[in-house]
Amino acid sequence: QAEELVVVPKVFRNLSTELVRLLEVEGHSSSLIDMEDIFDVFAGGRFSAHALRNFLTWVAKTWPEPQPASVLVVGDSSWDFWGRYPDHEHVPNWTPSYHTHKEPDFPTDLWFVEGEPLDRVGDWFFGRIPCQTVTHLEGYLAKRRAYDRNSDEGWTDRLLWISDDNDPVERDTQDILGRTLPLAYQIEPIFIHNYPYIDNYYYGENLARIQEMARTESQPLDFGKISPAANQAILDELTQGAALAVYYGHSGLNVLAHERILFGGGSKHSDIPKINNEGRTPLLFLMTCDVGRFDFTDDRLWKWSYGLAEELLMHPFGGSLALVTSTGRGVPSDH
């Protein structure tokens, strides 16, 4: 019996015992499960997403109460587990992901834990630590320990809320800030539209064409503009530390908003190494699209294929302690 199942490939097993110990110190009973054992029993030794799903179904049907409420999978994933593309070994494929017919372009962890087909809410909580190497996992565990040592400091009552500059995002944000957040928090709202914009110099010779396209849209946005001032304000607030940080708005795989907020993707221009908040890392809600995708097969085939959420989580000296976000498309009503 355990509250949480921690499913790990054997390469991470020794370090994962430290993760289980940290969870138990926090009051959560955990059981460590070898991924290879799941493949052996439920897939005849084959690497299989269905094996993990069938294992969780078996647990739900046969384990006595109280049953586990969550599963944590340790290890990165690649959708190309067949090895069909060149250099597929560039991203170690330690754990399975799954793409449904409804959303073939995005991994869907809900599929592993949905009680009924097309269930919008799973029967379990499902999380991942998408580490590629033992060194990555060591960095994450060090970040967890630093958080535990500093969790009684003054930053733990701070809540950072970042809002994109278009409706219904701003309208919803005003409603949430005014009615539903606990009064005990020191709320630090950042509205991107309150900061100056400049031309997006990264577009180079394409800037004029993109700005002209924006002017002809039926609902034009400030395409071709970025806000380094807003980005710096957000970096400064994150560095101070917060218990919870929320972003609500548009995004791409490796960046928030078209104003280029928290640019990541493992690029040499990434903002994430600038977040020096070790020991003060927030739980980060990114109510947006795509940033949680974790199973690209090779960043030499797809530019910026390292997701923003991955980089924030695996940054060893800061970033975020954990994230709740989308691996694919999202709409405001779902967020």
pLDDT at 269: 87
332 in a domain, yes or no? no
Q: CB–CB of 112/56 below 8 Å?
A: yes
146 in a domain, yes or no? no
Task: Give how far Cα 138 sits from Cα of 144, 289, 313, 316, Å.
Answer: 10, 29, 12, 8
| 214 and 172 in a common domain | yes
The pLDDT tens digits for 37-46 are 999 999 999 9
Q: Taking the mean position of all CA atoms in its chain, how far away is CA 9?
A: 21
pLDDT at 78: 82
| 236 and 178 in a common domain | yes
The pLDDT tens digits for 66-76 are 899 999 999 99
Residues (pLDDT < 50) of the chain are none
| 165 and 125 in a common domain | no
Domain of residue 177, residue span: 153-325
147 in a domain, yes or no? no
**Domain final position from 65, 97, 132:** 132
333 in a domain, yes or no? no
| 321 and 281 in a common domain | yes
| 112 and 27 in a common domain | yes
* CATH number, residue 221: 3.40.50.1460
* The pair of three-digit structure tokens given for residue 152, joined into one six-digit string: 């009684």
**Domain final position from 132, 167, 201:** 132
9 in a domain, yes or no? yes
Angle, CA of 16, 151 and 129, to the nearest 5°: 30
The pLDDT tens digits for 223-280 are 678 899 999 999 999 999 999 999 988 888 889 988 899 999 888 889 999 999 999 9
Q: Secondary structure of 266-326 in the HEC alphabet?
A: CCCCCCHHHCCCCCCCCEEEEECCCCCCCCCCCCCCCCCCCCHHHHHHHCCCCCCCEEEEC
**Strands, E, within the chain: which ranges?**
4-8, 30-34, 70-74, 125-129, 158-163, 186-191, 198-199, 225-226, 244-248, 251-252, 255-256, 283-287, 322-325
Q: What share of the chain is helix, strand, coil (3-state, %, to 5)?
A: 35, 15, 50
pLDDT at 80: 73
* CATH number, residue 116: 3.40.50.10390
| 309 and 265 in a common domain | yes
State the DSSP code for 328. Answer: S
Q: CB–CB of 75/295 below 8 Å?
A: no
Q: 195: closest CA among 257, 253, 251, 246?
A: 257
The whole-chain average pLDDT of the chain stands at 86
| 88 and 36 in a common domain | yes
228 in a domain, yes or no? yes
Contacts of 95 (CB under 8 A, 6+ apart): 7, 9, 35, 52, 73, 74, 75, 76, 77, 128
**Domain final position from 103, 132, 161:** 132
| 121 and 263 in a common domain | no
Q: 76: closest CA among 126, 20, 12, 23?
A: 12
| 39 and 124 in a common domain | yes
| 167 and 81 in a common domain | no
91 in a domain, yes or no? yes
| 121 and 158 in a common domain | no
| Number of domains making up the chain | 2
pLDDT at 100: 84
Q: 75: closest CA among 46, 33, 117?
A: 33
| 82 and 193 in a common domain | no
